[in-house]
Copies of this chain bind each other. A is one copy, B any other.
Amino acid sequence: MSEDLFDLHRATLDRAVEACRTRQGWSAFAEPSAGHPDGTAFQAQLGAAFDLGQPGRLGEQTDEISPYTGDPLGISYPVTPVDALFAAAQRAWPAWRDASVEARVGVCLEICARIHERAGELALATMHTAGQSLGMSRTGSGTNALDRGIEAVAQAYAAMARVPATAGWSRDFGGTTVALTKRYRLMPRGVAVVVACASFPAWNVYPALLASLATGNPVIVKPHPTSVLSMAYAVRACRDVLGSAGFPPDLVSLAVDTVAEPVTRHLVTHPATRIVDFTGSAGFGSWVEAHAFPAIAYTETSGVNAVLVDSLDEPEPVLRALAGSLCLFSAQMCTSPQNIYVPRDGVPTAAGRMKPDEFAGALADAIRAVSTVPRRAAAVLATVQSGQTLRLVQEVRDRAAGRGHVVLEPEPYAHPEFPAARTSGPLLALVDAADHELFGQERFGPVAFVITADDADHALHLATGDATRHGAITAFAYSKNEAFLDRAESAYAIAGAALTTNLTGPMPLNFSAAYSDYHVTGLNPAGNASLTDESFVAGRFRVTQSRRMKG
């Protein structure tokens, strides 16, 4: 049955393995259709129980409140004691551990297909928990996230396929030939815990969940308590597919906690935990890495991403690209830029030097062209996932006002469909390199700084220093000076952030393509795992062997 699933998805797998090899880019999915999805199922779920058939009672999740409506979703999820989750996972494990690689990979790819079938429901769930726009819920958290999941399955499959099942071996010992038949088995490590973030869970959970599952490990998914529903759908898809394929559904389960009583530390340090995937803050990520032993930890946290503006022909397309990226999902992405460095004596352009305050003013105008037009703002900025983020933005605004110049106030926009939506345009402040204490760390949410530096190399030095100390995932440079761009590429390779140079046009600057862009390097505090290199999958299974005399 599950080998049938392998055959069914074989073409997708082969194409994904090839895409991982060449990294030329590909998608298993067509562009999501436009138009509003059918909301019937989603509406019916609100205020209702979400039963997964897990052990334990159902309990209402009061932390889950739509950033669009301000209303609690009122959904009851299974509340399963942590020890019961591990016990169920371990009971379920043997059948999965002993299944063939093909059976497991077939199930994983069917899970992706099953999630995709429910794309509309999932998109609405993502909107009303993570607060993303409908478009991003369908792409970034939909097809792109599933592509990253398939990418992880493909890398896991390729890695497992490189281990031979058997080998014949012989050698001479003092004139006598000893011949052995050796058998190599792929052994999963054990129970995997996947800890999701609130604002963009699917993109990291799918690869982690599927990489662990494909390599034979049971998985406990721990969503953020304010952002459970989309992960509950994903876990249901896993359990349904596993069950249909004849495996115990408890191979994938959901651990629901609350803001008041979090269970992440308990899950990470549980004696049965063997793998932890964590997405969240850099501070908590470091705690996970330091305390996961004997489990191995894969983390993706956050960083302070920079833009180095050295010299431009035409400022306008660059400003539009920057504004788009600063507005995209109100900069609540780990790839969003924050610190935009310009030379203190201005940015050389075809029309002469553009002084820092001119540059900042023009950037503010480009942002306003998005943030003050409700329909565009709704599509690009969407909402702010957490009220805490708004408070932090205000705090930074007040501090920035005391040290520099607030070029653009972080003002809410009126969402055309959801009058109660929690929104905020970006804060843009003009500061100097000397104000490092203000911008030298990640300020999560719609916060950006235009920072005056001596010159582009000074900016590069500051920005890569922050990347090394506090983490960074992306970086952007605009320059007509090839020698500077080469220096920037080398410096960022060492600092471990992906550098994109001179990009303008319709692609969001921080778009990260499945199968092609490596996401996070593991070389700075923004995380130790990369989507998707071989080290992301290699540790999730081990090889055991047996030897017998031949003949």
Enumerate chain A interface residues (CB-CB to B < 8 A).
21-25, 97, 159, 162-164, 167-171, 173-174, 176, 178, 180, 182-185, 187, 189, 286, 289-290, 293-294, 296, 489, 492-494, 496-507, 513, 516-518, 521-523, 528, 530, 533-535, 538-539, 542-549
Contacts and interface: CB of A to CB of B under 8 A. Distances in A.
Contacts of A169: 23-25, 513, 516
Contact of A523 (B183, B534, B535, B542): B542
A499 B533 contact: no
A232 B165 CA distance: 39
- Each complex incorporates copies of this chain amounting to 2
Contacts of A494: 97, 187
Contact of A173 (B176, B289, B505, B548): B505
A-side interface mostly: mixed
A187 B507 contact: no
B167 A25 contact: yes
Contacts of A517: 182, 545, 547
Contacts of A296: 528
B505 A547 contact: no
Contacts of A542: 496, 521-523, 530, 533, 535
A502 B549 contact: yes
A534 B538 contact: yes
Given A169-B25, A523-B542, A548 B502 contact: yes
Nearest to A158: B162
A508 B74 CA distance: 67
Contacts of A293: 286, 289-290
Nearest to A94: B494
B546 A498 contact: yes
Nearest to A163: B533
Contacts of A497: 544
10 contacts: A163-B533, A171-B513, A178-B505, A286-B293, A294-B528, A500-B546, A500-B547, A503-B548, A505-B549, A533-B542
A544 B516 contact: no
A508 B267 CA distance: 44
Contacts of A24: 167-169
B547 A162 contact: no
A523 B534 CA distance: 19
A167 B182 CA distance: 39
A314 to B, nearest CB: 14
Contacts of A500: 546-548
Nearest to A294: B289
A508 to B, nearest CB: 8
Given A23-B169, A176-B506, 16 more contacts: A25-B170, A171-B513, A173-B507, A187-B493, A187-B521, A498-B546, A499-B545, A499-B546, A499-B547, A501-B546, A501-B549, A502-B548, A521-B543, A535-B542, A538-B539, A539-B539
